[in-house]
Amino acid sequence: MPSNAPAAHIEVEDLEIHYGPVAAVGPVSFSVQPGQQLTLLGPSGCGKTTTLRAIAGLERPSSGAIRIGGETMYSSARGINLPAERRGLSMVFQSYAIWPHMTVYDNVAYGLRVRRKSRAEVEEKVRRALDLVQMGQYADRHASQLSGGQQQRVALARACAFSPSVLLFDEPLSNLDAKLRGDMRIELRELQHRLGVTSLYVTHDLEEALAMSDRIVVMRAGKIEQIGPPDEIYNYPRTAFVADFVGSSNLIRGRLRPDLARDGLIALESEGGHIVHGVAHGRPAGAEPVLSVRTVHLRLVTGRPDGGGANGAANGAAGEEPVNVWPVTVRRSVFLGDLTELHVAWGGRELVVRCSGRADVGEGQPAFLSADPRHCVLLEAA
């Protein structure tokens, strides 16, 4: 980020939330730039929803500070804790929270009426919000007459109607079926861009996070594991947890062999005696270095790939011995539709390989396993 970057719109500083003696969150710190979408990603119980609710003012933190648009919403040091209704935010709830005793129109108009807007303005903004989510013709319906997807759209219209500058999303798509979820994902992203609204999004779904976010915060057990843009989170996981949670990975432990390092690559001798070349990504190797290789980045072929780098795996110069190529035996092959998952014996352990479509190697057959060193990433020392 250049130094003249705009001031962060949402700032969370050393936020901690305790339930009695149990620390549910923290301390965590992160910030969201104006107009950007940040996603809190993690398994259930990792504290992501609690963090979001604390920002909304629905949960009382134990310490830290929350600032929105430069104004302090919560600060333990200064004894400030604005109630949710004075924070001027908007939120889409996991359960949609569409009020069943009101019509769609009344639901969407709520935030505007709270702000004592004129009848004409309410009318105009509700129409605009409903049109935005293509629910214009449902204005007079009662919430109980809507399907799940329609309720989701109304919840979205209601959250946007009073033009809030910050939108919070608490797993808004988790109650939709898979197909609808895919569609809504794209729609939400477009909407967010069109409105230029700063958003904070909570999900446990990796694809959702990767597809929708400008930046991702991966959380685990109330702490932040890694912050970064989607491609960096995916390509350069910082810890074993992120590597595994953000798409499945093989973790290879061993010791560094500086003597075999070349071309800017590091070399690691695995516990089974194999030499694996990989990238350090500027990270210092600790006492117990670990390389992470995604299951989809491993390749399995029947014939030995030659040193010319024809298969793209080895990038050594011609004539030189290709790196990261090993003869293996396929132990198990599981057909998963889009993918086939293969378990191969490799130096006294198993590696998992996922290849698209059907594998051309059967169970019990020998094959060659290869991996592009650029995809073998050194994890940060614990």
Partner 1 sequence: MSTASGVQERPGAQAIRSRSWIPSGQAVAGIIVILVTAALVAYPIYYLLQASLDVGEPDVRPPTAYGLDNYATLPRYSQIMLNTLYVSFAATVMALVFGFVTAWILNRTEVPFRRTLEQAMAVPYYVTPLLGALAWSLLGAPQSGLINQLWRALGGEGAIINIASPLGIAWVMALFEGSVAFVMIGAVMKSMDPALEEASQVMGAGRLRTMLRITLPLVTPGVLGAAIFVFAEMLGSFSAALVLGTPSRFYVITTAIYQLVAQYPPRIPLAAAMGVSLFAVMFVMLFIYRRIVARRSYVTVTGKAFRPRLADVGPLRWVLFAICATYVLLSVVLPMLTLIYASLQHLTAIVPSAANFTLDNFRSVLSQNAIRHAITNSLLLGVMTATIGVALTGLIAWLVHRSRIPGRGLLEYAAMFPQAVPRLVFAFGMMWAWLVFPVPIYGTLWVLLIAYVTVFLPLGLRTISSVLMQVDKSLEECGEVCGASWGYRMRTITMPLLRPGLLAAWMLLFIASVRELGASILLMGPHSQVLTPAIVEAWFTNSSERTAAMALIQTFVVGLAMAFFLIVTRRMARQGG
**Interface residues with partner 1 (CB under 8 A)?**
6-7, 9, 33-36, 56-58, 60, 69-70, 82-91, 93-95, 97, 99-101, 110-111, 114-115, 158, 162-166, 168, 196-198
For residue 209 the two structure tokens come to 């996070």
Measured from the CB atom, the residue of 146 and 166 that comes closer to partner 1 is: 166
Measured from the CB atom, the residue of 154 and 351 that comes closer to partner 1 is: 154
Residues 130 and 104: beta-carbon distance below 8 Å: yes
CA distance 38 to 86: 22
CB of 228 to partner 1, least distance (A): 17
| All residues at 6 or more sequence positions from 3 whose CB lies less than 8 Å from its CB, including other chains | none
Contacts from 332-337 at CB under 8 Å and sequence distance 24+?
Answer: 332/363, 333/359, 333/361, 333/362, 333/363
Measured from the CB atom, the residue of 195 and 275 that comes closer to partner 1 is: 195
Following DSSP, what letter does each residue of 309-337 receive, concatenated?
TTTSS--PPTTSPPSSEEEEEEEEEEE-S
Instruction: Tell me: cis bond preceding 164? Omega within 30 of 0 counts.
Output: no
**Can you say how many angstroms the Cα of residue 73 is from the centroid of all Cα atoms in its chain?**
26
Element of type H or E holding 68: strand 63-68
Measured from the CB atom, the residue of 124 and 183 that comes closer to partner 1 is: 124
CB of 182 to partner 1, least distance (A): 24
Residues 40 and 52: beta-carbon distance below 8 Å: yes
Measured from the CB atom, the residue of 60 and 119 that comes closer to partner 1 is: 60
CB of 117 to partner 1, least distance (A): 9
Measured from the CB atom, the residue of 138 and 162 that comes closer to partner 1 is: 162
Q: What is the 3-state secondary structure (H, E, C) of 128-193?
A: HHHHHCCCHHHCCCEHHHCCHHHHHHHHHHHHHHCCCCEEEEECCCCCCCHHHHHHHHHHHHHHHH
CB of 217 to partner 1, least distance (A): 18
CB of 31 to partner 1, least distance (A): 13
CB of 87 to partner 1, least distance (A): 7
Q: How open is the CA angle 178-184-189, to the nearest 5 degrees?
A: 135
CB of 184 to partner 1, least distance (A): 19
CA distance 177 to 190: 20
CA distance 38 to 199: 6
CB of 120 to partner 1, least distance (A): 16
Element of type H or E holding 206: helix 206-212
CA distance 27 to 13: 8
Residues 54 and 15: beta-carbon distance below 8 Å: yes
Measured from the CB atom, the residue of 54 and 342 that comes closer to partner 1 is: 54
Measured from the CB atom, the residue of 58 and 211 that comes closer to partner 1 is: 58
Measured from the CB atom, the residue of 196 and 327 that comes closer to partner 1 is: 196
CB of 180 to partner 1, least distance (A): 20
Longest distance between any two alpha carbons in the chain, whole Å: 79
